[in-house]
Amino acid sequence: LPSGADGKKREVSYYYDPLIGNYHYGSDHSMKPLRIAMTHDLLHKYRVLNNMQVFKPTKATSDDLCQFHSDEYIRFLKRITPDNARELAGLCKIYNINTNDCPVFDGLYDYCISYTGGSLSAAARLNEGSSDIAINWSGGLHHAKCSAASGFCYVNDAVLAITELLKHRQRVLYVDIDVHHGDGVEEAFYQTDRVMTVSFHQRKIFPYNTGFINHIGSDQGKYHAVNVRLDEGITDDTYHSLFKPIISKVMEVYRPEALVLQCGADSLARDPLGSFNLTIKGHAECVNFLRSFNLPLLLLGGGGYCIRNVPRCWAYETAVAVGVELQNDLPSNDFYAYFGPHYTLHDPPIKGLENRNSTRSLEKIKTRVLDNISKLEH
């Protein structure tokens, strides 16, 4: 287990739709829902499922989706199919669907209500108080906007799950370790002090014009948005030289009553879309660190485009949530061939990859961010 694991067990609920792996964005699309089925199979073969309450989520209703999204957009999402996409080209353009990033595919609406149902069920479970940690690896689609799809995301399950938590809690902390900026979640709560959003992300990649350090929230929400923009090649140690002090300060000053962690695995080394150099252990240390605060914790998936890394990462993070260890040799599983040539859980960081974050620039970001957070004190 990562350093500092307290060895104490937690009551963990895990949400998984056995059909989620069958949805296809398109043959050459980077986003592959199959990685969720691969994660589930690893958890099964590692015998981690036995240590959790495993649920098949109920699908979200269109009323659920409209708690954040506009009625018109949801009506359109329900209606659009590969067959009528040409007729509906005008609306597709308005709602940013049928682009390369957000294609129309068979079962698109079912996919949306499935992954969103998982996040909503998980949040409701935490609200009941019957679990300490709830997990939905198919969620975390943090770019979707009120009336538009964006960056592989159609429905913003993270926003909806936070909204569900707000029914029972005064303050929710959202932390986003996906390599991309969590713009949809930040935007949804930019003007409120009931949600604090903290995103760590890589500079100069999608979504390009958001996530700057001086974007700190507005009105009631001033100082309740935190953005940590990093350069390529960041390692576990340098990442945590920011992550831990920033999260500790937020905990101390903001005193959240529930935590949501978007665990996008595209911040791992060797991701084709991101250029960080984190190991699975470094990534999972974020899960372990949030877990150590003993607050209701919702774990969501997100990005992750190296199909052999994502299941290993999320299986390991599930084990961290539960508090069990996993042997480094992968058990035999339905997707064994994907995990060659080493067939192990852990990989070293990329040797010789330059960390383009200098000690000075990291120190500067840390000082600036901690200073902003301290302004919401009193």
Instruction: Point out the residues that are catalytic.
Output: 143
Encoded one letter per residue, x for contact with ligand TV7 by CB under 6 A and - for no contact, window 199-238 reads -------x--------------------------------
Q: Indicate whether 178 belongs to the interface with Zn ion (CB under 5 A).
A: yes
d(CA 159, CA 300): 12
Q: Indicate whether 236 belongs to the interface with Ca ion (CB under 5 A).
A: no
141 contact, one of Ca ion, ligand TV7, Zn ion, none, CB 5-8 Å limit per kind: ligand TV7
Q: Indicate whether 29 belongs to the interface with ligand TV7 (CB under 6 A).
A: yes
Under a CB-based contact definition with an 8 Å cutoff, are residues 315 and 327 in contact? no
Tell which positions 324-363 bind ligand TV7, by CB under 6 A: none
Encoded one letter per residue, x for contact with Ca ion by CB under 5 A and - for no contact, window 154-193 reads ----------------------x-x---------------
Under a CB-based contact definition with an 8 Å cutoff, are residues 226 and 198 in contact? yes
Q: Can you tell me which of 266, 271, 285, 317 binds Zn ion, judged by CB under 5 A? A: 266
Residue in 365, 373, 367, 375 with CA at minimum distance from that of residue 213: 365
Under a CB-based contact definition with an 8 Å cutoff, are residues 149 and 95 in contact? yes
Q: Which residue type occupies 365?
A: I
Question: Smallest distance, Å, CB 207 to ligand TV7?
Answer: 8
Question: Smallest distance, Å, CB 300 to Zn ion?
Answer: 12
Q: Indicate whether 30 belongs to the interface with ligand TV7 (CB under 6 A).
A: yes
- Helices within the chain (DSSP H only): 34-45, 62-65, 71-79, 89-94, 108-128, 157-165, 183-188, 236-254, 280-291, 309-322, 359-374
114 contact, one of Ca ion, ligand TV7, Zn ion, none, CB 5-8 Å limit per kind: none
What are the b/e assignments for 203-218, b being 16+ CB within 10 Å? eebbeeebbeeebbbe
201 contact, one of Zn ion, ligand TV7, Ca ion, none, CB 5-8 Å limit per kind: Ca ion
Q: Can you tell me which of 13, 51, 96, 199 binds Ca ion, judged by CB under 5 A? A: 199
Q: Can you tell me which of 33, 57, 118, 151 binds ligand TV7, judged by CB under 6 A? A: 151
176 contact, one of ligand TV7, Zn ion, Ca ion, none, CB 5-8 Å limit per kind: Ca ion
Could you tell me which stretch among 118-126, 189-197, 227-235, 297-305 binds Zn ion (CB under 5 A)? 297-305
Q: Can you tell me which of 143, 180, 194, 291 binds Zn ion, judged by CB under 5 A? A: 180
Strand partners, 201: 229
Q: Indicate whether 271 belongs to the interface with Zn ion (CB under 5 A).
A: no
Under a CB-based contact definition with an 8 Å cutoff, are residues 235 and 356 in contact? no
Q: Indicate whether 101 belongs to the interface with Zn ion (CB under 5 A).
A: no
Under a CB-based contact definition with an 8 Å cutoff, are residues 13 and 131 in contact? yes
**Peptide bond before 207: cis, by omega within 30 degrees of 0?**
yes
Spell out the long-range contacts of 81-89 with Cβ–Cβ below 8 A and sequence spacing 24 or more: 81/106, 81/108, 82/106
Q: Can you tell me which of 21, 57, 264, 282 binds ligand TV7, judged by CB under 6 A? A: 264
Under a CB-based contact definition with an 8 Å cutoff, are residues 280 and 316 in contact? yes
Classify burial at 297, counting beta carbons within 10 Å of its beta carbon; exposed 0-12, middle 13-18, buried 19 or more.
buried
Q: Can you give the binding site for Ca ion, defined by CB under 5 A?
A: 176, 178, 199, 201
Q: Can you give the binding site for Zn ion, defined by CB under 5 A?
A: 178, 180, 264, 266, 303
